[in-house]
Amino acid sequence: MSKKRQTTGLPKETPRKPVAEGMPADAAKSGKQDSKREYHSRAEREHEIQRWVLIGTGIAIAATVIILAVAFVLDGVIRPNQVVASVDGNNITVTDFAKRVRLQRVLYNQQLTNVIQTYQSFGFEDQQIFEQMQSQEPFATYMREIQVPDQMGLTVINTMVDERLIRMGAQENDVTVSQADIDKQISQFFGYDPVALADAAAVAESTAEATATVEPSATPTPFVSPTPSPTPTITPTPELTPTASPSPFPTLPPAPTLTTTQEAENFQTRRNDFFTQIRQETGMSDADLNAYFETQALRNALRDKLGSDISKTATFVDARHILVATEEEAQDTLAALKAGDSFSDLAKAISTDTGSGANGGELGWAPISQYVTEFADAAKAAPIGELVGPVKSQFGYHIIQVRASEEREMDDSQLETARNNFFQKWLEDYRKSKLEVTQTFPVWADNVPTDPQTIIG
């Protein structure tokens, strides 16, 4: 057989071209080679890396800007305008609330400073002053609220709701106030009464003129040593452990006696200085301050109108009581008294009303209207000499004994107290009647400022 006939019958294999180094296998199989090489120089690779770094940095910066913008909007726009309470559509915002908390801190600080200076004038030491304030109201409450922000926040939010309700009540009762009424309210806040000062000056002048016309006596007046001013007795208080050691209280020199003109100038100076301080420390504007005193004037005007029919004659009682924290303690106290224990001794030992407790629980003669509603109702109905209780009030549980009762005429101060108590009861009832249009939101608790600094921290 010839060589030509010696075949396998299979197709002949096409000769392969050499595969270029770095050429993909599939390209080699196809017999084709990419026209553009995939190789990049070192400079190109570094440039590509830098490009991606710049892109990543730009994205990070953009994300940061967005986060800051969102935070700015939240803190500067959304959060300040969040509503913490609403009364018939009249909203109280976080901004309004924060301003009033700061104002309250300033006002508490002012009153604490005043009482501290009073104690200092009697020679009390700082630690004694601190302990006295912790056991006496309202100073104990002021100190507690300064140290526990949530308690101050709750007081302020309730006060602001009451103020909205007072405005509603004033409108319903056609009660309005003028700018002169507001200015008078500001003067009273600073203890400045130009009418009373003018009257006092006139009396002093007439007394001086009358004294000048009296002929001096030939007989010398014998020298008598002046009666010394009694030293105040420190009210015994239970051992207290202060939450922090009080800082030394600043001592201010006594104010000199001023003329009527000087009093007026002093009032203007104190008013301007105080308002400047309020604006700086609370963020309140002059309009905010005017609105604050307008509400106080409205409250007084509404109180006077609603309480105009209160009789000056009232039921007075001579009572004593023991105040304890729980009903169980009150029941134990009542059982001890019925077993023959001394009312006076128990009051001194356990009463949380340290003022009356130090006097054996004695409250003395007072109109019933000056007491909180629960106490007043119990005292009015109590048979003379019998023990009554436990009577629950906002202060705790009372055991009461009324030893005498009679009708008397109230003095101006007692009548003022009666009107205040009457108005407070009216406001409580009015608030209940407006529950459907009154809302308080929990967001207030996250927005209670702890500035400005106060005298106790």
Does the residue 29 lie in any domain?
no
Alpha helix positions (H), 122-226: 126-134, 139-147, 149-172, 179-189, 194-212
Assess whether 394 and 269 both reside in one domain: no
How many beta carbons lie within 10 A of that of residue 313, not counting itself?
A: 11
The count of domains in the chain is 3
Q: Is the same domain home to 65 and 195?
A: no
Output the CA torsion sign for 139, 254, 125, 323.
Answer: negative
In a shared domain, residues 399 and 426: no
Euclidean distance between CA atoms 147 and 153, whole angstroms = 11
User: Which has the closest alpha carbon to 330: 374, 264, 271?
Assistant: 374
pLDDT digits (tens, 9 = 90+) for 170-221: 999 999 999 999 999 999 998 898 877 666 656 555 555 554 444 443 333 3
- Crossing angle (nearest 10°) for helices 149-172 and 286-306: 60
Q: Measure the CA–CA gap between 352 and 330, rounded to whole angstroms.
A: 12
Determine the pLDDT at residue 270: 92
Residue 113 confidence (pLDDT): 92
User: How many CB atoms are located within 10 Å of the residue 421 CB?
Assistant: 20
Tokens at 236, concatenated? 């015994």
Over the stretch 218-242, which tens digit does the pLDDT of each residue have?
333 332 233 333 333 333 333 333 3
Residues 114 and 158 grouped into a single domain: yes
Q: How far apart are CA 142 and CA 145, in angstroms?
A: 5
pLDDT at 227 (0 to 100): 32
Same domain, 163 and 132: yes
Q: Tell me whether residue 371 is in a domain.
A: yes
Tokens of 383: 């048979």
Q: Residues 180, 116: one domain?
A: yes
Beta-strand pair 83-87/387-393: unpaired
CATH number at residue 329: 3.10.50.40
Q: Please count the other Cβ atoms lying within 10 Å of the Cβ belonging to residue 327.
A: 13
Q: Return the SS3 of 9.
A: coil
Angle at 176 between CA 173 and CA 181, to 5 degrees: 140
Task: Find all residues with CB under 8 Å of 102, minimum gap 6, and list them.
Answer: 281, 282, 283, 284, 449, 451, 452
* Cβ(53)–Cβ(409) below 8 Å: no
| In a domain? residue 59 | yes
* pLDDT for position 140: 87
| pLDDT score, position 26 | 52
Q: What residue numbers bound the domain in which 97 lies?
A: 82-202+262-312+410-445
Indicate whether 195 and 268 sit together in one domain.
Answer: yes
Q: Is 342 within a domain? A: yes
Residues 48 and 117 in one domain: no
Whole-prediction pTM: 0.66
Considering Cα of 363, then 188, then 154, then 303, what sign does the dihedral take? Answer: positive
Residues in CB range of 223: below 8 A, 6 or more apart: none
179 and 322 belong to one structural domain: no
At 37 the pLDDT is 54
